Amino acid sequence: MKIAVCVKQVPDATVHKRIDPATKRLDRSGEATLNPTDLNAVEEALRIKEAQGGEVVLVSLGPAKATDSLRKALAMGADRAVLVSDDAAAGSDLLGTCRVLAAALEREAADLVLFGQASSDGDGAVLWAAVADRLRQPMISQVASLTVDAGSITGKRQTEHGYDVISAPLPAVIGVSDAINEPRYPSLKGIMGAKSKPQESLSLADLGVEPGAAGEAGSETTVLELGSPPSRGDQIKIEDDGSAAQKILDLVLERRLL
């Protein structure tokens, strides 16, 4: 079984996030890492491979330096990586991104495609659905438990009313939640071995994607203006010297909020 895992390089959690006023896009010049929930998708792919055999290939869209982040997933045990890196793809929105990823996935012809539920920098949680639509494949989201059988897959997800258990034929696209597993730490052997694993870099032309179908040219969303959040008005700071509860009550009564 060939399993493709779509992963993304995102700003490290310790980095202060800022929007570049010139491009109106997230500044990605600082330290970066692999999207946290994508690690859950990689882990699940590795578990399926260990149980049934096959290949795990990473698929990503990003700058050339994203290979550094992909190496962590290779160290975990993925077999190879495919990075689509093209200046014409910079600034792609959901539609532009899904066109590129779908083209890369069609090239791989994987039996199963796994996504993390959402990226930490975008938090849209819809990319897997858009890619599945372009691939014309069934999709299950928020999967917390996954079972692969001959020619089909079954996902279990929690809802406010209980659990959904959904089955679909392969090939299929799955969005996993962070509840599905605990990602493994790369071993020293894995870290050393990752350096020699195949990492392929592709352009839009390699995938047959027109430059106008990705990047800002292929995006259907436009950021018109940026502004600071509105002021929350006057703030009162109450120090807890043993009388904080009484001070809060007095303030509430004074403003007739109770």
This prediction has a pTM of 0.84
Residue 127 corresponds to which tokens in the numbers above? 């990319």
Q: Is residue 244 part of a domain?
A: no
Residue 112 lies in a domain: yes
Tokens for 68? 């550094």
Walk along the chain (258 residues) and give the pLDDT tens digit of each residue. 999 999 999 988 888 877 887 887 887 777 889 999 999 999 999 999 999 999 999 999 999 999 989 999 999 999 999 999 999 998 889 999 999 999 999 999 999 999 999 888 877 889 999 999 999 999 999 999 999 998 999 999 988 888 999 999 999 999 999 999 999 999 999 999 999 999 999 999 999 999 899 988 888 888 888 877 777 777 778 888 888 888 888 888 888 877
Q: Is residue 152 part of a domain?
A: yes
Residue 111's CATH number: 3.40.50.620
Q: Is residue 221 part of a domain?
A: no
Contacts of 154 (CB under 8 A, 6+ apart): 146, 147, 165, 166, 167, 168
The set of residues, in sequence order, having a beta carbon less than 8 Å from that of 253 and lying 6+ positions away, is none
Residue 256 lies in a domain: no
Domain range for 121 is 2-213
Phi, psi at residue 209, to the nearest 5°? Answer: -95, 125
Residue 245 belongs to some domain of the structure: no
CA distance 65 to 124: 23
In a domain, 238, yes or no: no
What is the C-alpha separation between 4 and 172, in angstroms, rounded?
11
For residue 29, being part of any structural domain is answered with yes
Number of domains in the chain: 1
Residue 96 in contact with residue 61, Cβ under 8 Å?
no
Contacts of residue 221, Cβ cutoff 8 Å, sequence gap at least 6: 93, 94
59 and 8 in contact (C-beta within 8 Å)? no
